[in-house]
Amino acid sequence: MSSQTLTITIDPAAAEAPFEQVRTQIADQARTGALPVGHKLPTVRGLAGELGLAANTVAKAYRALETDGVIETRGRNGSFVAAAGDAAEKEAAAAAAAYARRAHRLGLDHAAALAAVTDALRAAYGPGA
């Protein structure tokens, strides 16, 4: 599927649900700059039709992207790629600070807290993380 620079491929055999495939691919393209800030995304119904998915599936992906600050919806004007880099970095920093406070309250030392983060990153990003 291609709408200007947006390219999404759905793998029906993948372990990831279709909405997560849509969310991940749009987020990755926004993060790498393949989808520039301000790029207008297809409508939910339009993208669902092009991908052969239910509109609710694409709507769920768009809602998750909006929650993550990757896209912004401007009412009837549509959904656009937001300046997500700064928002994502700020949210990650806030999550890291909250984790550090919690680990400290739990009595973990620096090494144990860092090991827990490293294990979580490996689980999320794969063995090379």
Q: What is the pLDDT of residue 89?
A: 73
C-alpha distances (whole Å) from 85 to each of 38, 41, 60 are 13, 18, 21
Q: What is the pLDDT of residue 129?
A: 59
What is the distance between the alpha carbons of residues 103 and 125, in angstroms, rounded to a whole number? 22
Vertex 83, ends 5 and 72: CA angle to 5°? 80
- Going residue by residue through the chain, which has 129 residues, state the pLDDT in tens, using 9 for 90 and above: 444 579 999 999 999 999 999 999 999 998 888 988 889 999 999 999 999 999 999 999 999 999 888 999 988 899 999 875 566 677 777 788 889 999 999 999 999 999 999 999 999 888 775
Burial class (CB in 10 A: 0-12, 13-18, 19+), 46: middle
